[in-house]
Structure 1
Amino acid sequence: MNLLRDWLFAATAVFFCAAVQAQRASPSSELRAFSEQRIRHQKTLGFALGGYALANIAAGSIAAGQTSGETKYFHQMNVYWNLFNLGIAGIGLLNSRKANADNETLAQAIRRHETMKQVLLLNAGLDVAYVVGGAYLRERSHSHPDKSDQLQGYGKSIMLQGGFLLAFDLVNYFVFKSRGDKQEIKLISAGPMGVGLVIPIR
Protein backbone atom coordinates (compact mmCIF):
# COMPACT_ATOMS: atom_id res chain seq x y z
CA MET A 1 0.00 0.00 0.00
CA ASN A 2 2.81 2.39 0.91
CA LEU A 3 4.62 1.48 -2.30
CA LEU A 4 1.54 2.31 -4.38
CA ARG A 5 1.11 5.63 -2.57
CA ASP A 6 4.75 6.55 -3.11
CA TRP A 7 4.50 5.67 -6.80
CA LEU A 8 1.38 7.82 -7.24
CA PHE A 9 3.06 10.71 -5.45
CA ALA A 10 6.15 10.48 -7.65
CA ALA A 11 4.05 10.24 -10.82
CA THR A 12 2.03 13.29 -9.80
CA ALA A 13 5.19 15.28 -9.08
CA VAL A 14 6.67 14.37 -12.44
CA PHE A 15 3.43 15.36 -14.22
CA PHE A 16 3.27 18.68 -12.38
CA CYS A 17 6.90 19.54 -13.16
CA ALA A 18 6.38 18.67 -16.81
CA ALA A 19 3.34 20.94 -16.95
CA VAL A 20 5.25 23.82 -15.39
CA GLN A 21 8.15 23.35 -17.80
CA ALA A 22 5.75 23.26 -20.74
CA GLN A 23 4.18 26.52 -19.58
CA ARG A 24 7.61 28.16 -19.36
CA ALA A 25 8.72 26.85 -22.74
CA SER A 26 5.49 27.71 -24.55
CA PRO A 27 3.45 30.53 -23.00
CA SER A 28 -0.28 30.55 -23.62
CA SER A 29 -1.70 32.71 -26.41
CA GLU A 30 -3.25 35.00 -23.76
CA LEU A 31 0.09 35.47 -21.99
CA ARG A 32 1.89 36.06 -25.27
CA ALA A 33 -0.71 38.65 -26.32
CA PHE A 34 -0.36 40.37 -22.94
CA SER A 35 3.43 40.61 -23.30
CA GLU A 36 3.34 41.62 -26.97
CA GLN A 37 0.91 44.43 -26.18
CA ARG A 38 3.30 45.87 -23.59
CA ILE A 39 6.26 45.60 -25.95
CA ARG A 40 4.36 47.30 -28.78
CA HIS A 41 3.31 50.12 -26.45
CA GLN A 42 6.89 50.61 -25.29
CA LYS A 43 8.02 50.90 -28.92
CA THR A 44 5.25 53.40 -29.63
CA LEU A 45 6.37 55.46 -26.62
CA GLY A 46 9.95 55.46 -27.86
CA PHE A 47 9.07 56.47 -31.42
CA ALA A 48 6.63 59.17 -30.28
CA LEU A 49 9.07 60.72 -27.79
CA GLY A 50 11.96 60.39 -30.24
CA GLY A 51 9.99 62.07 -33.04
CA TYR A 52 8.93 64.89 -30.75
CA ALA A 53 12.53 65.36 -29.60
CA LEU A 54 13.93 65.44 -33.15
CA ALA A 55 11.33 67.99 -34.24
CA ASN A 56 12.17 70.22 -31.28
CA ILE A 57 15.91 69.91 -31.84
CA ALA A 58 15.59 70.81 -35.51
CA ALA A 59 13.19 73.72 -34.98
CA GLY A 60 15.03 75.00 -31.90
CA SER A 61 18.44 74.90 -33.58
CA ILE A 62 17.19 76.97 -36.51
CA ALA A 63 15.16 79.41 -34.40
CA ALA A 64 17.94 79.97 -31.86
CA GLY A 65 20.24 81.17 -34.63
CA GLN A 66 17.66 83.57 -36.02
CA THR A 67 16.39 85.20 -32.82
CA SER A 68 17.78 87.06 -29.84
CA GLY A 69 17.02 87.81 -26.22
CA GLU A 70 14.46 85.77 -24.33
CA THR A 71 13.24 83.97 -27.47
CA LYS A 72 16.75 82.77 -28.30
CA TYR A 73 17.19 81.26 -24.84
CA PHE A 74 13.76 79.66 -25.10
CA HIS A 75 14.77 77.80 -28.26
CA GLN A 76 18.19 76.95 -26.85
CA MET A 77 16.63 75.19 -23.87
CA ASN A 78 14.22 73.34 -26.16
CA VAL A 79 17.27 71.90 -27.95
CA TYR A 80 19.10 70.98 -24.72
CA TRP A 81 16.00 69.44 -23.18
CA ASN A 82 15.16 67.34 -26.20
CA LEU A 83 18.66 65.98 -26.57
CA PHE A 84 17.95 64.40 -23.20
CA ASN A 85 14.51 63.23 -24.38
CA LEU A 86 16.10 61.70 -27.48
CA GLY A 87 18.50 59.71 -25.30
CA ILE A 88 15.63 58.40 -23.17
CA ALA A 89 13.68 57.43 -26.27
CA GLY A 90 16.69 55.61 -27.69
CA ILE A 91 17.23 53.61 -24.51
CA GLY A 92 13.54 52.70 -24.41
CA LEU A 93 13.56 51.51 -28.02
CA LEU A 94 16.71 49.49 -27.43
CA ASN A 95 15.15 47.75 -24.44
CA SER A 96 11.92 47.04 -26.33
CA ARG A 97 13.90 45.49 -29.20
CA LYS A 98 15.55 43.11 -26.75
CA ALA A 99 12.22 42.04 -25.24
CA ASN A 100 10.75 38.73 -26.39
CA ALA A 101 7.18 37.80 -25.53
CA ASP A 102 7.93 34.09 -26.10
CA ASN A 103 10.49 34.04 -23.28
CA GLU A 104 8.38 35.68 -20.56
CA THR A 105 6.78 33.77 -17.74
CA LEU A 106 3.52 34.92 -16.19
CA ALA A 107 5.36 36.38 -13.19
CA GLN A 108 7.80 38.29 -15.42
CA ALA A 109 5.05 39.68 -17.66
CA ILE A 110 3.03 40.90 -14.68
CA ARG A 111 6.05 42.43 -12.97
CA ARG A 112 7.08 44.29 -16.14
CA HIS A 113 3.54 45.55 -16.70
CA GLU A 114 3.33 46.90 -13.15
CA THR A 115 6.84 48.37 -13.37
CA MET A 116 5.90 50.21 -16.55
CA LYS A 117 2.89 51.81 -14.86
CA GLN A 118 4.99 52.82 -11.86
CA VAL A 119 7.65 54.39 -14.10
CA LEU A 120 5.03 56.45 -15.94
CA LEU A 121 3.55 57.69 -12.65
CA LEU A 122 7.00 58.52 -11.30
CA ASN A 123 7.77 60.43 -14.48
CA ALA A 124 4.51 62.35 -14.13
CA GLY A 125 5.58 63.44 -10.65
CA LEU A 126 8.94 64.60 -12.02
CA ASP A 127 7.13 66.46 -14.80
CA VAL A 128 5.20 68.49 -12.23
CA ALA A 129 8.54 69.36 -10.61
CA TYR A 130 9.87 70.52 -14.00
CA VAL A 131 6.92 72.87 -14.47
CA VAL A 132 7.41 74.28 -10.97
CA GLY A 133 11.16 74.63 -11.63
CA GLY A 134 10.48 76.55 -14.82
CA ALA A 135 8.13 78.89 -12.99
CA TYR A 136 10.82 79.40 -10.34
CA LEU A 137 13.36 80.43 -12.99
CA ARG A 138 10.92 82.97 -14.40
CA GLU A 139 10.33 84.35 -10.93
CA ARG A 140 14.08 84.68 -10.33
CA SER A 141 14.40 86.77 -13.48
CA HIS A 142 12.81 89.71 -11.63
CA SER A 143 15.59 89.78 -9.05
CA HIS A 144 18.37 89.19 -11.61
CA PRO A 145 17.85 91.79 -14.32
CA ASP A 146 21.28 91.04 -15.84
CA LYS A 147 20.09 87.50 -16.60
CA SER A 148 16.42 88.27 -17.12
CA ASP A 149 16.24 87.15 -20.76
CA GLN A 150 18.03 83.88 -20.07
CA LEU A 151 15.99 82.99 -17.00
CA GLN A 152 12.71 83.94 -18.68
CA GLY A 153 13.54 81.99 -21.84
CA TYR A 154 14.78 78.91 -20.01
CA GLY A 155 11.86 79.05 -17.58
CA LYS A 156 9.26 79.20 -20.34
CA SER A 157 10.91 76.34 -22.21
CA ILE A 158 11.09 74.10 -19.13
CA MET A 159 7.46 74.83 -18.28
CA LEU A 160 6.42 73.97 -21.84
CA GLN A 161 8.48 70.78 -22.01
CA GLY A 162 7.42 69.68 -18.53
CA GLY A 163 3.77 70.30 -19.38
CA PHE A 164 4.06 68.23 -22.56
CA LEU A 165 5.77 65.35 -20.73
CA LEU A 166 3.16 65.45 -17.96
CA ALA A 167 0.35 65.04 -20.49
CA PHE A 168 2.37 62.42 -22.40
CA ASP A 169 3.09 60.29 -19.33
CA LEU A 170 -0.42 60.50 -17.86
CA VAL A 171 -2.15 59.66 -21.15
CA ASN A 172 0.14 56.68 -21.68
CA TYR A 173 -0.32 55.54 -18.08
CA PHE A 174 -4.10 55.41 -18.45
CA VAL A 175 -3.89 53.79 -21.89
CA PHE A 176 -1.42 51.24 -20.52
CA LYS A 177 -3.61 50.58 -17.49
CA SER A 178 -6.91 50.27 -19.37
CA ARG A 179 -5.45 47.96 -22.00
CA GLY A 180 -3.34 45.74 -19.77
CA ASP A 181 -5.01 45.50 -16.37
CA LYS A 182 -8.02 43.50 -17.58
CA GLN A 183 -5.75 41.00 -19.27
CA GLU A 184 -3.53 40.90 -16.20
CA ILE A 185 -6.43 40.17 -13.85
CA LYS A 186 -7.72 37.46 -16.18
CA LEU A 187 -4.30 35.78 -16.32
CA ILE A 188 -3.84 36.00 -12.54
CA SER A 189 -7.35 34.68 -11.86
CA ALA A 190 -6.75 31.64 -14.02
CA GLY A 191 -3.30 31.05 -12.59
CA PRO A 192 -1.16 27.98 -13.28
CA MET A 193 -2.99 24.64 -13.12
CA GLY A 194 -6.30 26.49 -12.72
CA VAL A 195 -5.51 27.88 -9.27
CA GLY A 196 -7.13 31.26 -8.62
CA LEU A 197 -5.20 34.15 -7.18
CA VAL A 198 -6.13 37.76 -6.54
CA ILE A 199 -3.66 40.62 -5.94
CA PRO A 200 -4.32 44.38 -5.78
CA ILE A 201 -3.70 46.26 -9.03
CA ARG A 202 -2.76 49.95 -8.73
Structure 2
Amino acid sequence: MKFFLIVFLIFCSCGSQAQQRDTLNIEGLHQQRIETNRKGMWVLTGWGALNMGSGIIGALSTKNAEVKAFHTMNALWGVVNTGIGVLGLLRAQKEKRLYFSDADKYKAYKNSKKLYLVNGGLDVLYVGTGLLLRAKAGQANNPARNRGFGNSLIVQGAGLLLFDATMYLSHQKQHRYWKKAAPEFAVTENGLGLVYHL
Protein backbone atom coordinates (compact mmCIF):
# COMPACT_ATOMS: atom_id res chain seq x y z
CA MET A 1 0.00 0.00 0.00
CA LYS A 2 2.91 2.38 0.74
CA PHE A 3 4.32 1.70 -2.72
CA PHE A 4 0.95 2.54 -4.24
CA LEU A 5 0.82 5.85 -2.31
CA ILE A 6 4.37 6.84 -3.34
CA VAL A 7 3.59 6.16 -7.01
CA PHE A 8 0.49 8.35 -6.73
CA LEU A 9 2.43 11.26 -5.23
CA ILE A 10 4.98 11.10 -8.06
CA PHE A 11 2.14 10.79 -10.59
CA CYS A 12 0.35 13.88 -9.22
CA SER A 13 3.46 16.07 -9.24
CA CYS A 14 4.33 15.08 -12.84
CA GLY A 15 0.82 15.86 -14.04
CA SER A 16 0.73 19.35 -12.55
CA GLN A 17 4.15 20.29 -14.00
CA ALA A 18 3.08 19.29 -17.50
CA GLN A 19 -0.15 21.24 -17.05
CA GLN A 20 1.68 24.43 -16.11
CA ARG A 21 3.73 24.26 -19.33
CA ASP A 22 0.67 24.17 -21.61
CA THR A 23 -2.32 25.70 -19.89
CA LEU A 24 -4.24 27.47 -22.64
CA ASN A 25 -4.05 25.17 -25.67
CA ILE A 26 -7.01 22.86 -26.34
CA GLU A 27 -4.86 20.23 -28.03
CA GLY A 28 -2.37 20.44 -25.18
CA LEU A 29 -5.14 19.91 -22.65
CA HIS A 30 -6.48 17.00 -24.70
CA GLN A 31 -3.05 15.35 -24.81
CA GLN A 32 -2.66 16.00 -21.08
CA ARG A 33 -5.94 14.15 -20.45
CA ILE A 34 -4.72 11.18 -22.48
CA GLU A 35 -1.35 11.22 -20.70
CA THR A 36 -3.00 11.43 -17.27
CA ASN A 37 -5.14 8.41 -18.14
CA ARG A 38 -2.13 6.56 -19.55
CA LYS A 39 -0.10 7.09 -16.37
CA GLY A 40 -3.09 6.07 -14.29
CA MET A 41 -3.48 2.85 -16.26
CA TRP A 42 0.18 2.02 -15.64
CA VAL A 43 -0.43 2.49 -11.91
CA LEU A 44 -3.58 0.33 -12.06
CA THR A 45 -1.75 -2.37 -14.04
CA GLY A 46 1.08 -2.35 -11.49
CA TRP A 47 -1.38 -2.50 -8.59
CA GLY A 48 -3.15 -5.41 -10.27
CA ALA A 49 0.07 -7.32 -11.00
CA LEU A 50 1.26 -6.77 -7.43
CA ASN A 51 -2.00 -8.14 -6.03
CA MET A 52 -2.00 -11.03 -8.47
CA GLY A 53 1.55 -12.07 -7.58
CA SER A 54 1.31 -11.57 -3.84
CA GLY A 55 -2.16 -13.12 -3.77
CA ILE A 56 -1.05 -16.32 -5.50
CA ILE A 57 2.06 -16.64 -3.33
CA GLY A 58 0.09 -15.85 -0.16
CA ALA A 59 -2.71 -18.29 -0.95
CA LEU A 60 -0.29 -21.13 -1.72
CA SER A 61 1.92 -20.55 1.31
CA THR A 62 -0.66 -20.67 4.13
CA LYS A 63 -2.97 -23.22 5.70
CA ASN A 64 -4.99 -20.56 7.54
CA ALA A 65 -8.43 -20.47 5.85
CA GLU A 66 -9.00 -16.73 6.47
CA VAL A 67 -5.58 -15.71 5.16
CA LYS A 68 -5.95 -18.04 2.15
CA ALA A 69 -9.34 -16.49 1.31
CA PHE A 70 -7.88 -12.98 1.66
CA HIS A 71 -5.01 -13.72 -0.74
CA THR A 72 -7.21 -15.63 -3.18
CA MET A 73 -9.61 -12.71 -3.46
CA ASN A 74 -6.69 -10.28 -3.85
CA ALA A 75 -5.32 -12.41 -6.70
CA LEU A 76 -8.70 -12.36 -8.45
CA TRP A 77 -8.91 -8.57 -8.07
CA GLY A 78 -5.37 -8.41 -9.44
CA VAL A 79 -6.42 -10.24 -12.62
CA VAL A 80 -9.36 -7.85 -13.14
CA ASN A 81 -7.37 -4.69 -12.40
CA THR A 82 -4.46 -5.77 -14.60
CA GLY A 83 -6.89 -6.47 -17.44
CA ILE A 84 -8.58 -3.08 -17.05
CA GLY A 85 -5.18 -1.37 -16.88
CA VAL A 86 -3.91 -3.04 -20.06
CA LEU A 87 -7.13 -2.20 -21.93
CA GLY A 88 -6.82 1.40 -20.70
CA LEU A 89 -3.23 1.60 -21.99
CA LEU A 90 -4.36 0.33 -25.40
CA ARG A 91 -7.19 2.87 -25.44
CA ALA A 92 -4.78 5.72 -24.62
CA GLN A 93 -2.56 4.65 -27.53
CA LYS A 94 -5.57 4.56 -29.84
CA GLU A 95 -6.83 7.98 -28.68
CA LYS A 96 -3.50 9.58 -29.61
CA ARG A 97 -4.11 8.60 -33.24
CA LEU A 98 -7.81 9.52 -33.46
CA TYR A 99 -9.18 12.86 -34.64
CA PHE A 100 -11.20 14.83 -32.08
CA SER A 101 -12.96 18.14 -32.72
CA ASP A 102 -12.55 20.71 -29.95
CA ALA A 103 -16.04 19.86 -28.70
CA ASP A 104 -15.16 16.15 -28.73
CA LYS A 105 -11.97 16.87 -26.77
CA TYR A 106 -13.94 18.64 -24.07
CA LYS A 107 -16.58 15.90 -24.04
CA ALA A 108 -13.84 13.25 -23.61
CA TYR A 109 -12.41 15.29 -20.73
CA LYS A 110 -15.82 15.44 -19.01
CA ASN A 111 -16.41 11.73 -19.60
CA SER A 112 -13.06 10.90 -17.99
CA LYS A 113 -14.04 12.81 -14.86
CA LYS A 114 -17.46 11.17 -14.80
CA LEU A 115 -15.95 7.70 -15.14
CA TYR A 116 -13.65 8.13 -12.14
CA LEU A 117 -16.46 9.67 -10.10
CA VAL A 118 -18.78 6.71 -10.79
CA ASN A 119 -15.96 4.27 -10.07
CA GLY A 120 -15.32 6.05 -6.77
CA GLY A 121 -18.93 5.37 -5.79
CA LEU A 122 -18.48 1.69 -6.66
CA ASP A 123 -15.30 1.60 -4.55
CA VAL A 124 -17.27 2.79 -1.52
CA LEU A 125 -19.73 -0.03 -2.25
CA TYR A 126 -16.88 -2.57 -2.30
CA VAL A 127 -15.63 -1.37 1.08
CA GLY A 128 -19.17 -1.49 2.49
CA THR A 129 -19.66 -5.03 1.18
CA GLY A 130 -16.36 -6.05 2.78
CA LEU A 131 -17.42 -4.60 6.12
CA LEU A 132 -20.76 -6.41 5.86
CA LEU A 133 -19.08 -9.73 5.06
CA ARG A 134 -16.85 -9.34 8.11
CA ALA A 135 -19.71 -8.30 10.37
CA LYS A 136 -21.92 -11.23 9.28
CA ALA A 137 -19.11 -13.80 9.11
CA GLY A 138 -20.23 -15.47 12.34
CA GLN A 139 -23.60 -16.36 10.78
CA ALA A 140 -22.08 -17.81 7.58
CA ASN A 141 -21.35 -21.47 6.80
CA ASN A 142 -17.68 -20.60 6.40
CA PRO A 143 -16.85 -17.68 8.75
CA ALA A 144 -13.08 -17.71 8.04
CA ARG A 145 -13.63 -17.48 4.29
CA ASN A 146 -16.13 -14.64 4.67
CA ARG A 147 -13.76 -12.69 6.93
CA GLY A 148 -10.91 -13.19 4.44
CA PHE A 149 -13.05 -12.12 1.50
CA GLY A 150 -14.36 -9.16 3.51
CA ASN A 151 -10.86 -8.00 4.43
CA SER A 152 -9.80 -8.24 0.79
CA LEU A 153 -12.80 -6.21 -0.40
CA ILE A 154 -11.96 -3.51 2.15
CA VAL A 155 -8.31 -3.33 1.04
CA GLN A 156 -9.14 -3.44 -2.68
CA GLY A 157 -12.00 -0.96 -2.36
CA ALA A 158 -9.85 1.47 -0.38
CA GLY A 159 -6.96 1.15 -2.85
CA LEU A 160 -9.24 1.72 -5.83
CA LEU A 161 -10.95 4.63 -4.06
CA LEU A 162 -7.55 6.28 -3.62
CA PHE A 163 -6.80 5.61 -7.30
CA ASP A 164 -10.14 6.92 -8.63
CA ALA A 165 -10.12 9.98 -6.36
CA THR A 166 -6.58 10.85 -7.48
CA MET A 167 -7.50 10.39 -11.14
CA TYR A 168 -10.64 12.51 -10.77
CA LEU A 169 -8.77 15.32 -9.01
CA SER A 170 -5.97 15.19 -11.59
CA HIS A 171 -8.52 15.78 -14.35
CA GLN A 172 -10.53 18.31 -12.33
CA LYS A 173 -7.43 20.52 -12.07
CA GLN A 174 -7.77 21.14 -15.81
CA HIS A 175 -11.26 22.67 -15.56
CA ARG A 176 -10.11 26.28 -15.22
CA TYR A 177 -7.64 25.82 -18.08
CA TRP A 178 -10.44 24.56 -20.32
CA LYS A 179 -12.45 27.69 -19.55
CA LYS A 180 -9.49 29.87 -20.55
CA ALA A 181 -8.46 27.82 -23.58
CA ALA A 182 -11.94 27.64 -25.09
CA PRO A 183 -13.94 30.74 -24.13
CA GLU A 184 -16.27 30.04 -27.09
CA PHE A 185 -17.55 26.98 -25.22
CA ALA A 186 -20.17 27.43 -22.54
CA VAL A 187 -18.39 25.14 -20.12
CA THR A 188 -20.90 24.03 -17.53
CA GLU A 189 -21.45 20.92 -15.49
CA ASN A 190 -24.77 20.29 -17.32
CA GLY A 191 -23.46 20.21 -20.86
CA LEU A 192 -21.57 21.84 -23.65
CA GLY A 193 -22.86 24.63 -25.85
CA LEU A 194 -21.48 27.20 -28.23
CA VAL A 195 -21.63 30.89 -27.49
CA TYR A 196 -22.01 33.14 -30.54
CA HIS A 197 -21.16 36.81 -30.26
CA LEU A 198 -23.15 39.13 -32.59
Give the TM-score taking structure 2 as reference length: 0.79
Query: Kindly, what percent of the aligned residue pairs are identical?
Result: 29
| CA 30–62 in structure 1, closer or farther in 2 if over 3 Å, else same | same
Task: Name the counterpart of 1:187.
Answer: 181
Question: Which has a greater percent of helix?
Answer: 1
| CA 102–64 in structure 1, closer or farther in 2 if over 3 Å, else same | closer
Give the TM-score taking structure 1 as reference length: 0.78
The correspondence for 2:154, drawn from 141, 153, 159, is 159
| CA 182–78 in structure 1, closer or farther in 2 if over 3 Å, else same | same
The correspondence for 2:188, drawn from 164, 186, 200, is 200
User: Do structure 1's residue 45 and structure 2's residue 40 form an aligned pair?
Assistant: yes
Q: Which runs of 5+ in 1 are unaligned?
A: 1-28, 192-196
Q: How many angstroms does 1:201 deviate by?
A: 3.8
Per-residue displacement from partner, 1:167-196 (whole Å, max 9, x unpaired)? 111121111111x2122111231x3xxxxx
Task: Name the counterpart of 1:134.
Answer: 130
2 CA distance for matches of 1:128 and 1:89?
A: 20
Task: Name the counterpart of 2:171.
Answer: 176
The correspondence for 2:49, drawn from 16, 31, 54, is 54
SS of residue in 1 equivalent to 2:87:
helix
Asked if structure 2 preserves the Cα contact closer than 8 Å seen for 1:35 and 1:101, the reply is no
Q: Which runs of 5+ in 2 are unaligned?
A: 1-23, 191-198
Asked if structure 1 preserves the Cα contact closer than 8 Å seen for 2:127 and 2:153, the reply is yes
2 CA distance for matches of 1:199 and 1:45?
A: 25
SS of residue in 2 equivalent to 1:100:
helix
Asked if structure 2 preserves the Cα contact closer than 8 Å seen for 1:35 and 1:104, the reply is no
User: Do structure 1's residue 77 and structure 2's residue 73 form an aligned pair?
Assistant: yes
SS of residue in 2 equivalent to 1:198:
strand
2 CA distance for matches of 1:96 and 1:52?
A: 18
Per-residue displacement from partner, 1:51-101 (whole Å, max 9, x unpaired)? 011011111111111112101110000001111111111111111010127
Tell me which structure has the larger Cα radius of gyration. 1
Per-residue displacement from partner, 1:127-152 (whole Å, max 9, x unpaired)? 000001111111221112x4011000
Q: How many angstroms does 1:107 deviate by?
A: 0.3
The correspondence for 2:85, drawn from 82, 85, 89, is 89
